[in-house]
């Protein structure tokens, strides 16, 4: 029921993945050694002359999470969910821009805006979008080195944003757009019948209110704007609308039904789909595409639960599907930390300085280590991510909590820092959903 294990020969040639039981037998017999912890990979101590069986890599790209599946003749043998950090990149760039502009306004003379002399190359993507492509390609290249992949299938989905806003749109309305002939304020006045959405006041000056405040990540799109009188707008402040109307569920439901859901996730997928496809073609592996409708058809026909990794397994032509794993690897992009040498406070002023030295006693903050403490008050075995200090006294973040003051002498490195956090999902799906439908009787 677990993911199969990647296998390399003595010359690091990728071989057909094996079962965890076979991997344990090879390790116990000293015929192989652990090559990598995440994803778990072993390396044989001799050359393998046999040609490995070819695998298919399937991708289900998403705005926040990308599903990854490795299949062998219609059998799902390895799966993962890759969580992107596009929103974190956007927030970091926004904060840096605000601090920079604040410093300039306070400390320098007026300087004319220079945004007109900036140009971007063709195909440029915002950093938060480019990250989704780069992170996915990083893992595709890893799988190419760890497994004999001979084909890649990508779900090339395209969302119709205007039709998602208005399902009945057709004809010339596509050219006019959703706000043709309206200014934003006039559109809102007509949309909400020139009344305050909170107290229903009429014939008074109304202000534009963000339902999801900008200070908490809200956008300026029409679906996030409403009208409020000055009294209600000041009373709401920067609260979430759910918190402001927590005691009035009927009014909250009415306002949310009247507003439209933001479509930023669909726009992110639309913006990156062709960039990812072009990057996949650079791997010299045949790449095919499939529609999102076909993925949904396969998932419905096979009775597969709605998850990212099972969606990836259903991408493309899928006549039959046998699932041999129920514990996909959860991969979360965390980044490599900030390169900023001088930290700032919330006003943008220097508050702390960082050392240029990152490796202490052979370890680096973010490494996954195993510490076997044999003496002192903290005797035991600890496994987790390490926080290094120049003194050699480390902290280890384990599943049960943080352990401080562990000497580097007790530590052994298991996995080097690579900018990702790994969790093996232990949740089992219902037998009627996966096991009874797909697994062989000997496995189920």
CATH number at residue 385: 2.30.30
59: containing domain: 53-101+126-161+263-335+424-444
Asked if residue 271 and residue 241 are part of one domain, the reply reads no
Asked if residue 388 and residue 326 are part of one domain, the reply reads no
**pLDDT score recorded for residue 111:** 75
**pLDDT score recorded for residue 444:** 31
- Count of structural domains, the chain: 4
Q: Are 125 and 275 in contact (CB under 8 A)?
A: yes
Asked if residue 66 and residue 136 are part of one domain, the reply reads yes
For the beta sheet containing 5-8, the strands, ordered from the edge strand earlier in sequence to the opposite edge, are 14-18, 5-8, 41-44, 32-36
DSSP conformation letters of 188-228: HHHHTTTB-TTT--BSS--EEEESS-GGGT---SGGGEEEE
**pLDDT score recorded for residue 164:** 62
**pLDDT score recorded for residue 399:** 86
**Within-domain flag for 121:** no
**pLDDT score recorded for residue 427:** 46
Kindly report each contact of residues 129-133 with a partner whose C-beta sits within 8 Å and lies 24 or more positions away, as own/partner: 129/86, 129/268, 129/271, 129/272, 130/275, 131/84, 131/85, 131/86, 131/89, 131/333, 132/61, 132/63, 132/66, 132/84, 132/86, 132/268, 132/272, 132/276, 133/272, 133/275, 133/276, 133/279
Q: Phi then psi for 355, rounded to 5 degrees?
A: -80, 145
**Within-domain flag for 349:** no
Asked if residue 156 and residue 46 are part of one domain, the reply reads no
Residue 440: both structure tokens together: 């062989």
Q: What is the pTM of this model?
A: 0.76
**pLDDT score recorded for residue 178:** 60
Q: Phi then psi for 233, rounded to 5 degrees?
A: -65, -40
Mean pLDDT per 10-residue run, the chain (444 residues)? Answer: 90 94 95 94 89 91 93 93 94 87 77 78 90 96 95 83 66 64 69 86 89 86 86 91 88 80 74 92 93 87 90 91 91 87 81 85 92 91 92 92 93 92 62 37 33
**pLDDT score recorded for residue 289:** 93
**pLDDT score recorded for residue 185:** 76
Q: Are 81 and 3 in contact (CB under 8 A)?
A: no
Task: Return the CATH number at 63.
Answer: 3.30.420
**pLDDT score recorded for residue 440:** 37
Tell me how far apart the alpha carbons of residues 136 and 158 are, in angstroms, rounded to a whole number: 18
Asked if residue 388 and residue 429 are part of one domain, the reply reads no
């Amino acid at each position: 029921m677990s993911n199969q294990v990647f296998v390399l020969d003595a010359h690091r040639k990728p071989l057909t993945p094996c079962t965890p039981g076979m991997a344990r037998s090879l390790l116990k017999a000293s015929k192989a050694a652990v090559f990598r912890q995440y994803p778990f990979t072993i390396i044989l101590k001799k050359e393998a002359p046999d040609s490995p069986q070819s695998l298919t890599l399937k991708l289900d790209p998403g705005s926040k999470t990308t599903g990854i599946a490795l299949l062998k003749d219609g059998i799902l043998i390895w799966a993962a969910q890759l969580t992107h950090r596009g929103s974190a990149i956007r927030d970091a760039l926004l904060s840096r821009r605000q601090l920079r502009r604040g410093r300039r306004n306070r400390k320098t003379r007026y300087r004319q805006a220079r945004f007109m002399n900036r140009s971007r190359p063709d195909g440029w993507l915002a950093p938060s979008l480019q990250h989704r492509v780069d992170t996915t390609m990083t893992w595709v290249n890893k799988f190419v080195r760890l497994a004999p992949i001979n084909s890649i299938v990508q779900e090339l989905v395209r969302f119709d944003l205007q039709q998602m806003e208005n399902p009945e749109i057709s004809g010339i309305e596509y050219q006019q757009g959703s706000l043709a002939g309206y200014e934003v304020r006039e559109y809102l006045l007509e949309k909400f019948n020139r009344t305050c959405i909170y107290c229903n006041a009429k014939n008074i000056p109304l202000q534009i209110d963000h339902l999801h405040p900008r200070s908490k990540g809200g956008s300026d799109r029409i679906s996030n704007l409403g009208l409020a009188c000055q009294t209600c707008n000041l009373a709401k402040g920067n609260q979430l609308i759910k918190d402001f109307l927590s005691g009035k569920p009927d009014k909250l439901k009415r306002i949310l039904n009247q507003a439209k859901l933001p479509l930023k996730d669909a726009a992110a997928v639309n913006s990156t789909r062709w960039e990812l496809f072009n990057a996949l073609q650079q791997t010299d592996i045949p790449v095919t595409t499939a529609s999102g409708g076909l993925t949904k058809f396969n998932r419905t026909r096979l009775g597969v639960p709605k998850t990212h990794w099972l969606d990836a397994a259903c991408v493309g032509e899928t006549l039959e599907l046998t699932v041999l794993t129920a514990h996909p690897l959860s991969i979360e992009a965390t980044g490599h930390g900030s390169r900023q040498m001088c930290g700032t406070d919330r006003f943008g002023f220097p508050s702390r300085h960082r050392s240029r030295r990152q490796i202490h006693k052979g370890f680096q903050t973010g490494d996954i280590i195993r510490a076997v403490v044999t003496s002192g008050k903290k005797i035991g075995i600890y496994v987790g991510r390490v926080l290094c200090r120049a003194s050699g006294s480390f902290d280890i973040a384990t599943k049960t909590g943080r352990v401080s003051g562990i000497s580097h002498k007790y530590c052994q490195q298991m996995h080097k820092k690579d900018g990702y956090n790994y969790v093996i999902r232990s949740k089992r799906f219902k037998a009627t959903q996966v096991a009874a439908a797909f697994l062989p009787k000997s496995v189920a």
